[in-house]
């Protein structure tokens, strides 16, 4: 199934979580392989939004907060390298918005 808009990807999620080195669950090193950095965070935002708009999503879980979905696909980074990724999105019950939650190698 395709996710329905609106789909939100918070800038803070990218610049304070995905694209900075973290002691635990670091994703920045993986994303850097394809050329994604803090300097081009908006490119990653665009590419993640495109995945959500074009790729099929799979139901993952349903809680009192919302329904979560995963998308497994390939990102082509700014340097042309492709990365397989699994992204998690959640459609919030309270707002109806679909929010980006996280990304990791599948």
Residue 39's beta-bridge partner residues?
A: none
Residue 2, domain member (yes or no): no
Total tally of structural domains belonging to the chain: 1
What the block records as the tokens of 104 is: 């990791």
- Asked whether residue 98 is domain-assigned, the answer is yes
Three-state DSSP class for residue 7: strand
27 found inside a domain: yes
Asked, for residue 75, whether it belongs to a domain, the answer is yes
51: domain range?
A: 7-104
Is 73 a member of any domain?
yes
Write the CA distances from 85 to 23, 75, 93, integer angstroms.
20, 7, 26
Residue 1 lies in a domain: no
How would you write the pLDDT of the chain (106 residues) with one tens digit per residue?
888 888 899 999 999 999 999 999 999 999 999 999 999 999 999 999 999 999 999 999 999 999 999 999 999 999 999 999 999 999 999 999 999 999 999 8
Cα distance between residue 25 and residue 5, in whole Å: 28
């Amino acid at each position: 199934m395709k996710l329905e808009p609106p789909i939100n990807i918070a800038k803070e999620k990218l610049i304070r979580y995905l694209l900075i080195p973290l002691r635990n669950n670091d994703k920045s090193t993986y994303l850097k392989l394809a050329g994604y950095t803090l300097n081009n965070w908006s490119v990653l935002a665009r590419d993640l939004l495109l995945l959500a708009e074009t790729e099929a999503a799979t139901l993952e879980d349903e809680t009192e907060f919302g329904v979560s979905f995963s998308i497994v696909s390939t990102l082509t980074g700014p340097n042309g390298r492709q990365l397989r990724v699994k992204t998690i999105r959640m459609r919030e019950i309270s707002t109806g918005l679909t929010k980006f939650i996280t990304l990791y190698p599948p």
